[in-house]
Chain A
Amino acid sequence: MSHWPAIRAGLIALHILAVTLMAMPSPEGGMRRSAWKDPTIQGELKAWTQRVNAVGVDWTQAEVEEFAWDAARRIQTVRGWALAPFMPYYRYCGTWQSWKMFVAPHRYPSRLYIELEGADGTWRKLYVARSNEWDWHREQLDHDRMRAAIFRYGWRHYRRPFSRFGRWVAGQVAAEFPEAKRVQLRFYKYRTASPEEVLSHTEPAGQFQRAVIFELEDFR
């Protein structure tokens, strides 16, 4: 037992090393060229291009993006190598560290709409995210875990999970509205209004994207 204090101190040091390495900033989860084309990310790149230009570095936005992409890939490589020995510790002891919390505001968010086509062929809204008026299954769809999933589905590369989610919604709608013909899910993507725009009652235009429609007969 006389060696225990030293062994314990060593294990504590290893724990600190493992969690600190894992927590270091990384582009994990964000390495998709398609996602980088989103206007939110392009807006960030534009702002950083203006900043580096202001300090005398004459780079274009494309060059800044390429530099960021290369740097992110290198960080990923080194990170993977450094974390490899600790993987079982993260996996079995729950010591993952991913603290990318609100790293940037999403200037072009997506708001989920669920709409129903009745027997007479007219469409009506069932659910609009955060609406007090169209609040079908709100207690479920507004739950924080559902918000997390729906937030992801708003990105293009989550097309398949979004479609599966749509099928689940269609199943619920088919059971609750026996006369209804079809259900549609789509996202309204828009630029969030600046304070000046809010105060002048100017609402930036947006557009509906990624619509999926399901024939409810298939779910009965």
Chain B
Amino acid sequence: MWRRWVAFCSRTEVGTSLAVYRIIIGLCVVLTVGWVMWAGLIDVLWVDLDHGGMSVVYPGWLVSALGGPTPRVMRALAWSTMGSGLLLAVGFGGRLTAFVTLQLVMATVDINVHAGGSYDELLQNALWLCVLGSTTATMSVDCRIRSGSWTSETPVGVWARYLIVGQLVLMYTTTGWQKLSAYWTPGGDFSALYYILQQPSWHRFEMGWVARVFWVTQVGTAVSWFWEVLAPVWLLAFYYSETSDRPGRVRRWFVQWRVREIYALVGLIFHVAVFALLDVGPFSPISLAFYAALIHPHEYARMFRWR
């Protein structure tokens, strides 16, 4: 068992999928912090009450080391975070840039515990996975400096991509397992999405009109609950598609029926709908960045050739 695990973790592939993931995550960092800056909220949300902010904030080690949550420090940190996110997107500095970006993101978005959401945690996990994996092996400035070319066939560990997909599946699964409300679970009337859309905290505009298509929200509730609760099937489908050259009837069935792709399509529809109807910050773009790792390097090669 252990030997098989070590062998599994030693497998390599071309780093295209990791590179695409890194680029999108870098841009998500810029989006996450830039959106706060655009709304003029840095001095309001990330600066302490004593310096003009609206609440007591909880600075981490980096903000404390820089002199505390004053407007000057927090603005400088916000600009640095966006700059670091851009460096990550262009692939300069390898793991060090990813680590610095992670620390900067933690220093900014975590400072106000009331003014954030799960997307902050998702982004931080995404950045840590950029630290663990070799995301700048190709399609990066690092690659250009190292090899003289923007792309490279340098092998990277497949395990990093499994961790990314695993993180996505873990998020969906455990959020589904926590949806124990009578409005979500079988046995009720599957009205959770309808009522969530009525909450003024999150909807983009008044959503009373969905009462006319209540049945659509019921179908959406049932589909998204089962989709989340059974998300580990997606990880299995990903594994089968990645090892499709191996034998096995179940594997063949999963590949033939495109279970990985169907799961991804449902997720894509779900995130587009969430983005259109609810204001939950950059949750959808960050989540969809993880989808980049679901596509195998040979599939990217085919896509790029087609273009």
Chain A residues close to B by CB (< 8 Å): 5-6, 8-9, 12-13, 15-16, 19-20, 23-25, 44, 47-48, 51, 93-107, 109, 111, 129-130, 139-140, 142-154, 158, 161, 164-165, 168, 192-196, 198-199
Contacts and interface: CB of A to CB of B under 8 A. Distances in A.
Nearest to B183: A105
B174 A97 contact: yes
Nearest to A99: B175
Contacts of A103: 175, 178-181, 184
Nearest to A16: B166
B199 A105 contact: yes
Nearest to A55: B187
B114 A104 contact: no
B244 interface: no
A15 B196 contact: no
Contacts of A109: 198-201
Contacts of A105: 181, 183, 191-192, 194-196, 198-199
B118 interface: yes
Contacts of B124: 94-96
Given A103-B175, A104-B179, A198-B208, A140 B116 contact: no
Nearest to B195: A105
B36 interface: yes
B279 A51 contact: no
B307 to A, nearest CB: 34
A194 B217 CA distance: 13
Interface stretch (B2-10, B135-143, B147-155): B2-10
A143 B6 CA distance: 46
A168 B44 contact: yes
A198 B182 contact: no
Contacts, number: 194
Nearest to B125: A95
Contacts of B187: 51
Contact of A149 (B5, B114, B174, B210): B114
B41 A145 contact: yes
Contacts of B181: 44, 103-105
Interface string B81-110: 000000000000000000000100110000
Interface residues of B, number: 75
Contacts of A94: 102, 105-106, 121, 124-125, 127-128
Interface string B200-235: 111101101011101000000000000000000000
B56 A25 contact: no
A192 B125 contact: no
A44 B191 CA distance: 13
B119 to A, nearest CB: 8
A5 B6 contact: yes
Interface string B239-278: 0000000000000000000000000000000000000000
B174 A130 contact: no
A39 to B, nearest CB: 13
B112 interface: yes
A38 to B, nearest CB: 13
B125 A143 contact: no
A208 B150 CA distance: 60
A143 B39 contact: yes
A130 B114 contact: no
B281 interface: yes
Contacts of A15: 132, 163
Given A95-B125, A195-B211, A104 B117 contact: no
Nearest to A51: B187
Q: Which 6 A-B pairs have the closest CB atoms?
A: A94-B124, A104-B181, A47-B182, A105-B195, A168-B54, A198-B211
Contacts of B206: 130
B192 A104 contact: yes
Given A106-B201, A153-B114, 10 more contacts: A8-B9, A20-B170, A24-B174, A93-B102, A106-B199, A111-B200, A144-B280, A154-B201, A194-B211, A199-B212
A37 to B, nearest CB: 17
